[in-house]
Structure 1
Amino acid sequence: MSSGDGRKKTACVTGGNGYIASALIKMLLQKGYAVKTTVRNPDDREKNAHLTELQALGPLEVLRADLDEDGSFDEAVARCDYVFLVAAPVNLHSKDPEKELIEPAVRGTLNVMMSCAKAGTVRRVVLTSSAAAVSSRPLLQGDGHVLDEDSWSDVDYLTANKPGPWGYPVSKVLLEKEASRFAEEHGVGLVTVCPVLTVGAAPARKIHTSADASLSLLSGDEAAFGMLKGMEMADGCVSMVHVADLCRAEVFVAEDDAAAGRYVCCSVNTTVVELARFLADKYPQYDVKTDLLSGELLEKPRVSLSSAKLVREGFEFKYKTLDEIYDDVVEHGKALGILPN
């Protein structure tokens, strides 16, 4: 993968210790990119072990940067063709979401955007937001609702009623809007991807929320199942995408000059009940914890998130069914210690 002058195209991926970021770094290296990534502490060998291993695949530079420090991303994005903005605060249980989640998320996003504007070489910034910025709203009545890029979570409703981890969707809406405003004012090419619950194996070794939630019916982890059930109650469905498809979608919208605006990234809309039936059938060696399936659960999704825009512009999902999506999820769960070997 080289640019016009014969050098390798260079991409920066922020937050290299994260689940999605680590999978994206691996894919970019495999595609022939030179990659720079940022972590808060490059000297933490244990946390960065997966990055050391990824350096065997190609040129990967690990740099120190912090979303809270102005200018700390300047070096990381300098001379980059593409910047994938993946790092963001995820403090779901903070006591003060305004101060501990929302403000740092917006400030950190603008910090990296500022560095991209300064660099002068960045052809496109791909911002990883979340479907939480699309689907969090008062419960929709009836069935058959389709949410897409024109849908925004209702910030007024969320801040007034404070349902569940309300600060997270608010942070995603506000950082998207601020990034978009900044990009327009400073002539930075920006595309936003809004992934749903993302599952599948990735190089980063730390356990992430989506792995716990997606395996909770097999592990019996009640808190993780609570998150899965909470998604269905809040959104009217459980929407999923495989991490490899998400990374392919991010690279697709980076490289496609015609890509613009937001993109929902979702390949399957399901429910907790459908998921339980599927898992019981596919993994009979695990007892699906049916005792968790109490209370009001949906038989079929009442709402679905649509990636029609992404598909219309030429992207094709590889993992389109629960069977395909879950192919490596259980092995990944064993590797992380969520499931017994």
Structure 2
Amino acid sequence: MIPDTLQEELIEPAVRGTLNVMRSCVKAGTVKRVILTSSASAVYRTPPQGEGHVLDEDSWSDVEFLRANKPPMWVLLEKEASRFAAEHGISLVTVCPVVTVDAAPAPNALTSVPNCLSLLSGDEAEFTVLRGIERGSGTVALVHVDDVCRAELFLAEKESAAGRYICCSLNTTIVQLARFLADNYPQYNVKTNLLSGDLLEKPRVCLSSAKLVREGMLLCFRSSLFA
């Protein structure tokens, strides 16, 4: 079970901070739309799904399943924000990006960045996290940071936009990713020795950005994410 300290130190402040921003938007009276950056963790964290399962915006991570494995922060944050928006007549659009890659804007690499780099760094602790992402979701779903930024601007300006939007360019696996890197960038000495155990040969599930694409958003790095 998730410790009470995480509930108090991580989940509650995140939810409270989001609602405080939304209250300020209501008070200002001039905000036309709020774009909330959530996470695909609010979509795919469920008990194992069947082969070929497609996850879309109607998919929600199972809160009780999360409570037994990791903090259900993103699900609770999204649902509280949605409830508040409905009660106060705010146009709320939520973007759920998957693992975000390419150059990190921060001076220190955090969250998913060192996880993805573990195939190059050989950091076994970070690789364990990457393995956990694949095991927990059935895929290693990736998106370029530029596409996430463009999606948020696009949805802020798109009049018809509403609800949630998954932002995902590629569903792959650790094995496929390692092979691609080893074949195309041999100079980086990809740590293929880490490829052992119950790693997937191909994605078991797919996180779909079909709704975002239907709105007219073009994911520029869809076919050449690592080019």
TM-score class, shorter-chain normalisation, is: over 0.9
Q: For the residues of structure 2 that align with 1:94 and 1:204, how far apart are their CA atoms? A: 29
Distance 1:115 1:206 in 2: 31
CA distance in 2, matches of 1:208, 1:281: 27
Q: Distance in 1 between matches of 2:185 and 2:8?
A: 43
Aligned residue for 1:53?
none
Stretch deviating more after TM superposition (262-271 or 199-208)? 199-208
Calculate the TM-score normalised by the size of structure 2.
0.96
What amino acid is aligned across from residue 230 of structure 1 in structure 2? G
The answer as to 2:26 corresponding to 1:135 is: no
1:95 CA displacement: 7.3
CA offsets 1:26-63 (integer angstroms, 9 cap, x no match): xxxxxxxxxxxxxxxxxxxxxxxxxxxxxxxxxxxxxx
Aligned partner of 2:57 in structure 1 is 149
Deviations 1:185-222 (A, max 9, x none): 11211100000000112432221222211211011111
Counterpart selection for 2:181 from 271, 279, 294: 279
**In terms of Rg, which structure is larger?**
1
Q: Select the residue among 96, 107, 110 that pairs with 2:19.
A: 110
Q: Which runs of 5+ in 1 are unaligned?
A: 1-92, 328-341
Q: 2:31 aligns with which of 122, 144, 154?
A: 122
> What letter corresponds to residue 65 of structure 2 in structure 1?
Y
CA contact (8 A) 1:148 1:264 kept: yes
Alignment pair present for 1:247 and 2:149:
yes
Query: Could you tell me how far apart the structure 2 residues matched to 1:96 and 1:140 are?
Result: 30
Does 2:10 match 1:101? Answer: yes
- How far does residue 94 in structure 1 lie from its aligned partner after superposition? 7.6
Q: Are 1:305 and 2:207 an aligned pair?
A: yes
DSSP-derived class of the 1:96 partner:
helix
SS at match of 1:325: coil
How many percent of aligned residue pairs carry the same amino acid?
65
**Would you say the 8 A contact 2:169–2:219 is kept in 1?**
yes
Instruction: Provide the C-alpha distance between the structure 1 equivalents of 2:132 and 2:99, rounded to a whole number of angstroms.
Output: 12
For the residues of structure 2 that align with 1:254 and 1:267, how far apart are their CA atoms? 20
Cα drift, residue 325 of structure 1: 2.2
- Give 1:237's aligned amino acid: T
**Two-structure CA RMSD over aligned residues (Å):** 1.4
Identify the structure with bigger relative contact order (alpha carbons < 8 Å, sequence gap 6+). 2
Amino acid at match of 2:54: V
- Give matches, 1:226-265, under 5 Å: 226-265=128-167
TM-score by length of 1: 0.64
Cα distance between partner residues in 2 of 1:325 and 1:228: 18
Number of residue pairs the alignment of both structures matches: 226
Q: Which amino acid aligns with 1:274?
A: Q
Q: Which amino acid aligns with 2:226?
A: Y
